[in-house]
Structure 1
Amino acid sequence: MEGAIFYWVFWGVWIYLTFILEKQNPYRLKLAIIVLIAIILSNVQFAVGKFDIQASGLFMLGCCYLFINQEKRAALIYFFICTFTVSIAYVTFHLFEIFDPIWIIFKKEWMMGIMLWYLAILLQKTLKGRLLIIFAGAMQGEILYAFTLNKFQFQYLIGTFSYLDVCSLTAVLLTGWSVLENAGSILQTQFHYFEKGKQKSS
């Protein structure tokens, strides 16, 4: 069922932000509001010219642009390159799915999620940066894909539950990877601290 991954992940994130995360965290309220609005808008659709758009995806794209806009000018250029790279990869995957579907060897959302996860790790070093380029780049890819299909008189709903599922799955994979990265640095710090204490005692 399309949208299941999105709802599970976003409701889980909202519960964590609202009831578990420290209230002193400066991002807590902003992120909780963004997640809740994204859930509310997930079934809202509207038309812009020849294109039908699901409001949740467009809202997420706008939020990503706002966060990216807070970066320095040099970082903005690099973010543009990263989001454009993700967009091209997203569109290419969909086009290959149409012209040669036999290479989809398991569930499409998982294949796209793993591809975008690996791409985000290569392009960005922080979890925030990785999430921004995934949500923004994939939505830009949705728009570009819709323009491509429109040339052949095919209708395509932009920002569908499939897009939300892929982004949600990728976000979970990226968060898990970030936890592993931080766990490694913490263990390394503890190990060095233990070694120093051992050397002093001897």
Structure 2
Amino acid sequence: MEGIFYLWILWGVWVYSTFLMKKGRVRFWISFCTLVLVASFPYEFGMGHYRVTVPLVLIVLLALWTIRELPLRKKLYLFISLISTAMCLTGVKLVSIYDPVLVIVDPFILDVSVLIVMGFLFYSDVASRNVRYASVLLGGALGQVFIGMILTTIGFGHTIGEHKYMDAAAVSFLILVGIDGLLFINRLFNAKLQENKGDAHHL
């Protein structure tokens, strides 16, 4: 079933934020936004010749909100990363449609790989992790727009923000958060080792 990864990951986030996080503003907004994204999953609307899913629009709005205070120079750099991510996703999609023999890896895995690699390619430092998340989500959404425009122009139907893509976006986001979590644990472990070495030198 297309969309199953998206739904399960969001339900997991909702359960974690609702029952395991400390009460506060952050907990409320994470739970609320997650619930809205789950509830809006089946809905889409028309924009001229195009069909757009509601969750994609909501995700774009959330991502834009997180980068609203970035300085102009960083916003221009982010724009370059969005275009690059979108072009890579569009190229992979078109190749898988026109010459699927060349695509030896499942397109879903390719989409996930492209989003993760492009995210770390442009934002590899730890301090930029929130912007990295926004870059991946916005770049993927822009790629869906490019794909939808191209396929609609040549007579193919395509829903911008299709459920298959939402699966890829959700899995990519989860993997990125998991990688950042492992890096955080590694930094804590190294800091503890340095602290123990310092205590040993004082003995």
TM-score tier after normalising by the smaller chain length: over 0.9
Shift of 1:53: 0.9
> Does the Cα contact within 8 Å between 1:86 and 1:137 map onto a contact in 2?
yes
Report the Cα distance in structure 2 between the residues aligned to 1:66 and 1:179, rounded to whole angstroms: 23
Q: Which residue of 2 aligns with 1:159?
A: 161
Report the Cα distance in structure 2 between the residues aligned to 1:88 and 1:193, rounded to whole angstroms: 46
CA 27–74 in structure 1, closer or farther in 2 if over 3 Å, else same: farther
Report the Cα distance in structure 1 between the residues aligned to 2:168 and 2:144, rounded to whole angstroms: 12
Report the Cα distance in structure 1 between the residues aligned to 2:54 and 2:157, rounded to whole angstroms: 17
Q: Does 1:122 align with 2:121?
A: yes
Shift of 1:184: 1.5
Post-superposition CA distance 1:76-134 (Å, at most 9, x none) = 11221112211111111101111221233343222211221122112113331221111
- Secondary structure, in 3 states, of the residue corresponding to 1:42? coil
Q: Does 1:43 align with 2:42?
A: yes
Report the Cα distance in structure 1 between the residues aligned to 2:107 and 2:83, rounded to whole angstroms: 21
Flag structure 2 segments of 5+ consecutive residues without an equivalent: none
Equivalenced residue count is 200
Flag structure 1 segments of 5+ consecutive residues without an equivalent: none
Post-superposition CA distance 1:123-179 (Å, at most 9, x none) = 113331221111111111111111111221222111111111000110111111111
> Does the Cα contact within 8 Å between 1:68 and 1:79 map onto a contact in 2?
no
Q: Which residue of 2 aligns with 1:72?
A: 71
- State the AA in 1 paired with 2:42: N
Report the Cα distance in structure 2 between the residues aligned to 1:191 and 1:154, rounded to whole angstroms: 58
Higher mean C-alpha displacement, 47-56 vs 117-126: 117-126
Q: Which residue of 2 aligns with 1:8?
A: 8
- Secondary structure, in 3 states, of the residue corresponding to 1:98? helix
Name the % identity: 19
- Secondary structure, in 3 states, of the residue corresponding to 1:172? helix
Q: Which residue of 1 aligns with 2:196?
A: 194
> Does the Cα contact within 8 Å between 2:40 and 2:54 map onto a contact in 1?
yes
- Secondary structure, in 3 states, of the residue corresponding to 2:193? helix
Q: Which residue of 2 aligns with 1:91?
A: 90
Report the Cα distance in structure 2 between the residues aligned to 1:107 and 1:7, rounded to whole angstroms: 21
Report the Cα distance in structure 2 between the residues aligned to 1:105 and 1:189, rounded to whole angstroms: 43
CA 84–29 in structure 1, closer or farther in 2 if over 3 Å, else same: farther
> Does the Cα contact within 8 Å between 2:93 and 2:107 map onto a contact in 1?
no
Q: Which residue of 2 aligns with 1:105?
A: 104
TM-score by length of 2: 0.92
- State the AA in 2 paired with 1:188: N
